[in-house]
A and B are shown apart, each in its own frame.
Chain A
Amino acid sequence: MSKLKYLALALPFILGACAPMQTTLIDPRADRSAIGMGLDSRDFDQAASKVVKDMLRSGALDKPQGGRYVAVISRISNDTMQRIDTDQLIKNIRVALLNSGKVVFTTAIVNSARGAEDNMSMQVRQLRASQEFNQANVAKQGQMIAPELSLSGKFLQNNNRLGDGSQRVDYSFQLTLTDLRTGLAFWEGNEPISKLGPGQTVAW
């Protein structure tokens, strides 16, 4: 009985000694956590930032007659070994481009099996027949604006074993900005991220 009593008393200390690491909030501006061979938000942020700078610097987004281009996100494929939601990178790029004042994105175009990014643009048009709604606010025909530019891309990954037993993983973010009127690529970018680590690490 006394043994059990001692065990009961010691249990919290035993469990405390192997307590998991305390959860802390990470400020992206002071993120000193270790990096892995896979991709994390720091990689996405850095790649997106470089791509946006490149696009803005190139002048491809400077409309000759002034104003903003209307753009749409096209197919972004993930050819890496990781399960990546491509929106994680693309959303960063979209927000930055929108804030630049040079581009506005349409969400009303159907570009995948998932349908349009926001189906509501089409659905509210069904209210034209409804007498329950004041028609003043219902979108009229011919008010939607077609995109002029399309952003498409691909994420790639290459793994290589090196002579010293280490592993090199090269990721590549390839993006293309196409002028939809002519089909010509106004801008193309390729942002590599290369990582070197121990050979035992699995990069997916």
Chain B
Amino acid sequence: MCSGCETVPTVAVDPRVQIAPNTNVILDRIQVNAIGPVRGNIRLINMTATDLPVKQTTTWFNSIGQNINTLLSRPEKMVVPRFGDAYVELIAPTPDAVMFQVRVEADYPD
């Protein structure tokens, strides 16, 4: 191992979850049921010593990839507490909602 090199922790990339680079939260795991309407959750963890306010937006799609306009796709503010975790809850808003994409971004003032 070269001197001065450091190991960068790698996080498994899941195309269903986008975490903005400045967010400082880490995607820990995604749990989704395999049968029936999509239900599950996404666990975000905060390894820093600061509470991190974030905003998550879950976009839902039908089986042919069309966006479903739903209340459950409105941005939701949440705080990932320092050295703690927070969950994004996934509940299919309509019977034809089969795919989702979650975007997590920092909720700091610009």
The answer to the question of A71 belonging to the interface, with a C-beta cut-off of 8 Å to chain B, is no
A57-B91, A99-B94, A100-B94 known; A52-B71 Cβ under 8 A: yes
The answer to the question of B6 belonging to the interface, with a C-beta cut-off of 8 Å to chain A, is no
Q: Which of B76, B77, B93 contacts A99 (CB under 8 A)?
A: B93
Q: Which of A29, A50, A56 contacts B57 (CB under 8 A)?
A: A29
The answer to the question of B51 belonging to the interface, with a C-beta cut-off of 8 Å to chain A, is no
A46-B76, A57-B91 known; A96-B57 Cβ under 8 A: no
Contact in complex: B110, A32 (CB < 8 Å):
yes
Contact in complex: A53, B94 (CB < 8 Å):
no
Residue numbers in B under 8 Å from A95 (CB-CB): 71
Q: What CA separation (Å) do A96 and B94 show in the bound complex?
A: 8
Interface size bracket, A side = 20 to 34
The answer to the question of A92 belonging to the interface, with a C-beta cut-off of 8 Å to chain B, is yes
The answer to the question of B72 belonging to the interface, with a C-beta cut-off of 8 Å to chain A, is yes
Q: What CA separation (Å) do A46 and B57 show in the bound complex?
A: 11
Contact in complex: B89, A101 (CB < 8 Å):
no
Contact in complex: B72, A53 (CB < 8 Å):
yes
Q: What CA separation (Å) do A101 and B57 show in the bound complex?
A: 22
* CB interface residues, A 26-56, toward B, < 8 Å: 28-29, 31-32, 34, 42, 45-46, 48-50, 52-53, 56
Most buried by B among A34, A48, A56, A57: A56
Q: What CA separation (Å) do A42 and B91 show in the bound complex?
A: 20
Q: What CA separation (Å) do A34 and B108 show in the bound complex?
A: 11
Q: Taking chain A's interface residues, is the majority helix, strand, or loop, or is none over half, making it mixed? A: helix
The answer to the question of B74 belonging to the interface, with a C-beta cut-off of 8 Å to chain A, is yes
Q: Which of B70, B75, B94 contacts A29 (CB under 8 A)?
A: B75
Q: Please name the residue on chain B nearest to A31 by beta carbon.
A: B75
Q: What CA separation (Å) do A57 and B89 show in the bound complex?
A: 10
Contact in complex: A96, B93 (CB < 8 Å):
yes
Q: Which of A34, A42, A49 contacts B71 (CB under 8 A)?
A: A49
Chain A positions 81 through 116: 1 when the CB is less than 8 Å from some CB of chain B, otherwise 0: 000000000001101100111000000000000000
- Distance between B107 CB and nearest chain A CB, rounded to angstroms: 9
A46-B77, A96-B93 known; A57-B71 Cβ under 8 A: no
Residue numbers in A under 8 Å from B73 (CB-CB): 29
Residue numbers in B under 8 Å from A101 (CB-CB): 94-95
Residue numbers in B under 8 Å from A56 (CB-CB): 91
Q: What CA separation (Å) do A50 and B75 show in the bound complex?
A: 11
Identify the A interface with B (CB < 8 A).
Answer: 28-29, 31-32, 34, 42, 45-46, 48-50, 52-53, 56-57, 92-93, 95-96, 99-101
Extra pairs beyond A49-B71, A96-B71, A99-B94 (8, CB < 8 Å):
A42-B74, A52-B71, A53-B91, A57-B89, A95-B71, A99-B70, A100-B95, A101-B95
A-B contact pairs, 12 of them (CB 8 A): A28-B74, A28-B75, A29-B74, A32-B109, A46-B76, A46-B77, A52-B71, A53-B89, A57-B89, A96-B71, A101-B94, A101-B95
Question: 6 closest Cβ contacts across the A-B interface?
Answer: A45-B74, A96-B71, A101-B95, A99-B94, A53-B91, A56-B91
